[in-house]
Structure 1
Amino acid sequence: MTEIAVTERTRHRRMKENGSTRRADLDAILAAGFVCHLGVVVDGTPMVVPTVYGATADALYFHGSVASRSLSQDPQPEVCVTVTHVDGLILARSVFEHGVNYRCAMVYGTPVAVTGEEKLEGLRVLTEQCAPGQWDYARRPNRKELAATTLLKLPLDEVSVKIAAGPPDDGDGPDAASGRWAGNLPLHSAYGPPVPAPEVPAGVPVPGHIAAMRLGSV
């Protein structure tokens, strides 16, 4: 699939020029992070909860202890999961033209609780999204830990993608002659040196897959 299907809910209405229906853009946004914000109504009150996620070609897996409370309702409510990356500030000559360069994906749908073998696979996907290589390095969850963990799955069937990139839009207006500086202020996130837990014996090396994460950025 190279294009994202458009629904009435995901149709781009405001700032259409930032909207994208390219599946490659969606995949890149989901692959670039591991924190999402889950919007859900719990006991009649809207909540937006940050949580970690893992993405596959057709779904998101995420921890859902809060959302799982709402899944006991009939009918099951829908949720909105948002993944956002801030790439920098757009600093214009006028305050009105200021903005943010960003990449964002919003996923709508009804999540389902994951059980059985798929639950273990979903936790692997989530773990590898956060720290590639950690699933094979760390101890796997036992039955008691699996029973105490709520994992939800949300299909990537209804998605909206927006991307903003570029300079301020006031370069061809009267403010361009004001002599003020304008441009972009890029924002980058990077990992620092690994810090061992206090009880780790001296001489235990940092695993290679963790050390390698410092070479990339979040």
Structure 2
Amino acid sequence: MQAFAPDFCATLTDLLTWRRDARHFRTDPLDESMVLELLTLAQLAPSVGNSQPWRFVRVRTPALRAALADHVDAERERATVQITDATRHDAYRALKLHGLREAPEIIAVFCDDTTQAGAGLGAATMPQTRLYSVVLAIHTLWLAARARGLALGWVSILDPAFVARTLAVPDDWAFVALLCLGHPEAVADTPELDRLGWQARLDPLAQISAC
């Protein structure tokens, strides 16, 4: 397999370094062709058995967007009261955890675990590999968006059953992610959770072992 040029590899490193989990978005609408391009690129991700189990649901209805935002806010409040450490409690309160009211594009991502595509290849003993495949599609979308100057935020403080029920998706679709996509308000040198003192990036070499 032919390697890419060094300049491209350096640019790819920059892209990986500058990927961010965004929470602060401008409300500017996105060009429809760009959104469709990004969702198409996301589906170039690898998938177990080439099953392509990802299912993207664009939340376009204002009432549905509001319902999701209200739900996430309620779940945040529920989580807040469970934090007993005073320092962590205040730090958690200071975090902005979603951009569901500001981001121009809201996308819910599901895994169709009963898809016939791929005929079950590679998932007989590890059916969760279909979920992993969907996560790879999300990561591909993330990088493609960042390369175009857009930001993506993954909202996870929610009840998956509520999201699936609110969006009325098929019963055999498993919820994976609720994503906010749009232009960032600003781009910082340091990821927000690191910058605000919640969690710094760990030493990557410390995460590697051998046996």
The answer to whether the superposition gives a TM-score over 0.5 is no
Using structure 2 for the length normalisation, give the TM-score. 0.28
| More helix by percentage | 2
Which is higher, the Rg of structure 1 or of structure 2? 1
Higher RCO (CA-CA < 8 Å; seq separation 6+): 2
